[in-house]
Amino acid sequence: MRFHFHFAPLPLLKNIARNIRHMHEHDHHIQPDHKKGVLKVLHYINQHLPDDLSLEVLAEVANYSPYHFQRIFQEAIRETPKQYVIRLRLEKAAHYLKIFPEMPVAEIAFNCGFSSPATFSRAFKSHYQVNAETFRTMPNSDLYSPDGEENKIEIPGLIEWVKQNPERQNQPEFSSGPTIKWVPGRKFACIPIVLNHPECISLAFRNLMKWAIPNELHRKESHFIGIWLDAPVFTSLEKCRYLAGIEIDAETMNYKGAELFSMDAGKYASLRMKGDLEATWNKIVSMNHNFIESMGFSLSELIGFEIFEECPAYKPYESIMKDVLLPVRPKG
């Protein structure tokens, strides 16, 4: 199963940039052209993580000199390009180690863009304080507890936000237990964000609608999707990448203003639920370790989907029923 990304020019870069925390915090320091260049590079990195992502390559993508690009990128993201790329590669490797236990460490290293197993081993131990093999064999409870109270995933800032918005507190609801089902292929036009605030998903979908409606891409039967590119198990939530998308027809050609994402047909573990970010992710973790494995399946991709019953632009995220989907394949 493969998922395909395509990059198109982004007229809504100004709106998208407001949802990227570091750019937002330093908005008065970063010129619009610089924002556009950095965002273009972030999209390029998403699509080419295993490939050559040297400073020279990324600077060429942004159309700046290497020296000038490094300064702009670090000002916007508060990481150097090298630090950002290595972090994404290590987080992806951590996912591979836990989700694909039979995959050789050397293969993981190359799949994640490291030039050699030795280079990967040094970087991994420096980042996680243990070597890759030890990390792989650590009990999952040492990393997170899907259903426990003490070690469950907690989203920074969410508790304080809920205190300030008590009307938004709710318990997760489930309309049915998890199942394995066939899902048809789909294509989406998406806006990328990072999950730095409980309202960021709603804001992203509002920006998406500002783009989709004038381009006549919004219909009564339109489906809306959220795509988790990172997991807050190994990536701090404020750096987790997320795509807010609307389904488009295969023949639709007016893609300018969005990142395109193709979701292949295949088998998915599915859970119909509603709840906030924290509840959603804890159920994703629980579904992987308590259901998928017991059904004789394993994850086939390091990605998660949520297809919403209603557009999150107009209702709070936590109050919308959605199908959480994880791509799977038979074990062995």
Place of tokens 């409870």: 141
Q: Residue 3 — pLDDT band, cuts 50, 70, 90?
A: very low
Q: Residue 284 — pLDDT band, cuts 50, 70, 90?
A: confident
Return the domain boundaries, the chain.
3-78, 84-138, 158-330
Q: 86 versus 195: which is more confidently predicted?
A: 86
Q: Residue 5 — pLDDT band, cuts 50, 70, 90?
A: very low
Q: Residue 34 — pLDDT band, cuts 50, 70, 90?
A: confident
Q: Please report, as a single letter, which amino acid is at residue 15.
A: N
At residue 219, what are phi and psi to the nearest 5 degrees?
A: -125, 165
- Contacting residues for 142 by C-beta, under 8 A, at least 6 apart: none
Interval 93-119 mean pLDDT: 90
Q: 22 versus 79: which is more confidently predicted?
A: 79
Is the pTM for the entire model greater than 0.95? no
Residue-wise pLDDT for 257-282, tens only, equals 677 888 889 999 999 999 888 888 88
Query: What CATH code is assigned to 84-138?
Result: 1.10.10.60
Give Cα separations from 184 to 31, 175, 178 (angstroms): 42, 21, 18
Q: Which two tokens stand for residue 274?
A: 């509603």
Q: How far apart are CA 303 and CA 301, in angstroms?
A: 6
Question: What kind and span of H or E run contains 140?
Answer: helix 140-143
Say if domain 158-330 classifies as CATH 3.40.50.150: no
The DSSP bridge partners found for residue 108 are none
Interval 135-143 mean pLDDT: 72
Q: Please report, as a single letter, which amino acid is at residue 192.
A: P
At residue 295, what are phi and psi to the nearest 5 degrees?
A: -90, 5
